[in-house]
Amino acid sequence: MDHNGKLYIETVGCQMNVLDSELVVAALRQQGYELTDNPKEADTVLFNTCSVRELAEQKTYSSVGRFKRAKDHNPAKVFGVIGCMAQQEQERVFQRAPHVDLVVGTGQLADIPQLVDEVRRSRKRKLAVSLGRKEGNRDQVAGSFASYVPLRDPQMRPSPWQAYVRIMIGCDKFCTYCVVPNTRGPEQSRPPQDIAREVVSLAEQGVKEVTLLGQTVNSYQHAAQTHGAQPVGLSGLLELIHDTPGIQRIKFVTNYPKDMTTDLLEAVRDLPKVAHYLHVPLQAGCDDVLARMKRGYTTADYAEMMDRIRMIVPDCAVSSDFIVGFCGESEESFQKSMDSIRQYRFKNSFIFKYSPRRGTKAFDLYEDDIPEDVKKRRNNDLLDLQNEISEADNETFLGRAVEVLVEGPSKWTMKGHVPDVTQSLPGWHDGASQADGSAVVQLSGDSQSQSDSSDIGAVGLGTTQLVGRTKCDRIVVFDGNPRLAGTLANITIQDCTQTTLIGSIVTRQVQHSSHELLPILS
């Protein structure tokens, strides 16, 4: 059946999903597809999904449901549900959304061009998913989740200057609340030389910042290729890619507390391009709750890790995830999570109300016994406390100059003036309450005010509101020429909110004979 060659893809969830969408789009472009942002125009509509929380799944089913009559007017349309929810739900997707043609798990994304063609030719549904964790031995299951040679598509990245690099897939931690070991399969680390070549390729495309991705990224470990050599861990991988020409900043997410080794922290300290930022979810401040979650560490273990971070990388920013209302969480247990935020003063935290997920141990073993109104209250209490601490810590930057990697113009609604200064989540979840997010920030001349009603971007000829991040991952907005995007700029901080530092470009006067280049200003 003929089709118009237009592709629409909607992505829900974490950075790994964003990267998966980039790879899928790149593969389909090789078949002549053209990307569109209007699903009504596209004859191929894909939904890349998240299964970590029930809310994320409901969002997808709601989005898919909008098109249940679309084939009445255009029989050539193909609808596909791909990614984590596809791997988790499988045939249930067809049952809930009968107009869906294609369900493709995380391990079969490379096959999507072929599968779309087969569906369009035969008009029969296609299910392509990996083995379950008990449907074969480890090697067989891992093979069914194997990744593929990454094709890249710059249009799908957070910005032209930033790119994600997958260094591992899967997870073997089996926390009782988490579906990831089922939806992403066994833990597998990519060969370091393959990763290095990918980083070089991205740098040649103009990328300035790479973020290394893994469900537990600091668990990265690849066997040595030569007899007697040591395996390559994350610290060795950072050293390998650090001197890639053109790359100015390197990040990695998400970290697992027990795998935060001293050699990794020393690499963060000693390698200038590596961000002084670590996302290390605590999840709960109570040992009883952590044990029920099967997190594999105690609050004492986490405290020891934090002590090493503060000692080795004193200016390192640390962020966390928390789950509130997990099975059996008492009020006393919850207060210990509140205390942990006070103790560690996280840069920000992503906070989730527990929702049972089919296929997890917690779903089978524990009653979801915390009422929804209690979960909501605890969520709000934790968020309010984190916001208070984030704003107080941001105030310590007032009057300081910081180096910012400029991402480009901030986004805002013309009426509401709300810049979209977070384009993706540091953690591996969707729909969390965030103590790090969009802020109403309005600038006027040399002063910054959250109550000023002047138009963003109208402060000077050729200038607009730009956004970037410091080496410790704090969001900074300032006015400047859009040509600064993709460069490092020095910004003096003059104001702040709980989520955002607000400043102005540091300008310098130089002699005409100087070889220094001035910042690009209007």
- In whole angstroms, what is the distance from residue 216 CA to residue 16 CA? 12
Q: Report yes or no on 361 lying in a domain.
A: yes
Q: Are residues 195 and 129 in the same domain?
A: no
- In whole angstroms, what is the distance from residue 501 CA to residue 441 CA? 10
Q: Which of 1-5, 139-143, 401-405, 430-434 has the lowest mean pLDDT?
A: 430-434
Q: Are residues 362 and 225 in the same domain?
A: yes
Residue that finishes a domain, picked among 110, 141, 172: 141
Q: Are residues 388 and 411 in the same domain?
A: no
Model pLDDT, residue 451:
30
Checking if the pLDDT of 345 tops 90, the result is yes
Q: Report yes or no on 513 lying in a domain.
A: no
Q: How far is CA 76 from CA 171, 366, 442, in A?
A: 38, 46, 46
Q: Are 97 and 85 in contact (CB under 8 A)?
A: no
- In whole angstroms, what is the distance from residue 509 CA to residue 6 CA? 51
Q: Report yes or no on 110 lying in a domain.
A: yes
Question: Can you give the pTM of this predicted structure?
Answer: 0.84
Q: Are residues 376 and 500 in the same domain?
A: no
Q: Are residues 171 and 320 in the same domain?
A: yes
Residue 92 Ramachandran class (φ > 0 left, ψ -120 to 50 alpha, else beta): alpha
Q: Which long-range contacts (CB under 8 A, 24 or more apart) does 441-449 make?
A: 441/410, 441/465, 441/477, 441/497, 441/500, 441/502, 442/417, 443/477, 443/478, 443/479, 443/502, 446/504, 447/494, 448/494, 448/495, 448/502, 448/503, 449/495
Q: DSSP code of 37? A: S
- Helix axis angle, 331-344 relative to 372-395, nearest 10°? 10
Q: Report yes or no on 259 lying in a domain.
A: yes
Residue that finishes a domain, picked among 343, 365, 392: 392
Q: Are 406 and 464 in contact (CB under 8 A)?
A: no
Q: Are residues 132 and 152 in the same domain?
A: no
Q: Nearest Cα to 316, choosing from 118, 204, 473? A: 473
* 492-502 per-position pLDDT tens digit: 999 999 999 99
Q: Report yes or no on 295 lying in a domain.
A: yes
Q: Would you state the structure tokens that stand for residue 86, as one six-digit string?
A: 């596809």
Q: How far is CA 30 from CA 128, 151, 316, 439, in A?
A: 21, 10, 42, 39
Model pLDDT, residue 52:
85
Model pLDDT, residue 225:
66
Q: Are residues 407 and 431 in the same domain?
A: yes
Q: Which amino acid is at 103?
A: V
Q: Could you please report the per-residue DSSP string of 193-246?
A: HHHHHHHHHHHHTT--EEEEE-TTGGG-EE--SSTTPPPEEHHHHHHHHHT-TT
Residue 35: CB atoms within 10 A of its CB come to 15
Checking if the pLDDT of 433 tops 70, the result is no
* Terminal alpha carbon distance of the chain: 53
Q: Are residues 278 and 380 in the same domain?
A: yes
Q: Report yes or no on 36 lying in a domain.
A: yes
* 192-248 per-position pLDDT tens digit: 999 999 999 999 999 999 999 999 999 999 987 666 678 999 999 999 999 999 999
Q: Are 177 and 354 in contact (CB under 8 A)?
A: yes
Q: How far is CA 411 from CA 192, 420, 467, 477, in A?
A: 36, 5, 9, 11
Which residue range forms the structural domain that includes residue 136? 6-141
Q: Report yes or no on 446 lying in a domain.
A: yes
Q: Are residues 88 and 227 in the same domain?
A: no
Query: Any idea what the Cα angle at residue 55 is, between residues 413 and 113, rounded to 5°?
Result: 80
Q: Are residues 165 and 259 in the same domain?
A: yes
Q: How many structural domains is the chain composed of?
A: 3
Mean pLDDT of 299-319: 98
Checking if the pLDDT of 388 tops 80, the result is yes
- Name every residue whose Cβ is closer than 8 Å to that of residue 202 and which is 6 or more positions away in sequence: 152, 163, 165, 210, 247
Residue that finishes a domain, picked among 111, 141, 171: 141
Q: DSSP code of 431? A: S
Q: Are residues 100 and 167 in the same domain?
A: no
Q: Which amino acid is at 178?
A: C
| 3-state secondary structure (DSSP) of residue 277 | strand
Q: Are residues 155 and 174 in the same domain?
A: yes
Tell me the CATH number at 23.
Answer: 3.40.50.12160
Tell me the CATH number at 160.
Answer: 3.80.30.20
- In whole angstroms, what is the distance from residue 171 CA to residue 291 CA? 18
HSE-up of residue 81 (Cα within 13 Å, Cβ side)? 33
- In whole angstroms, what is the distance from residue 454 CA to residue 292 CA? 51
Checking if the pLDDT of 10 tops 90, the result is yes
Q: Report yes or no on 432 lying in a domain.
A: yes
| Range among 16-30, 127-141, 445-459, 470-484 rated most confident | 470-484
Residue 400 Ramachandran class (φ > 0 left, ψ -120 to 50 alpha, else beta): beta
Checking if the pLDDT of 452 tops 90, the result is no
Model pLDDT, residue 147:
64
Mean pLDDT of 463-475: 94
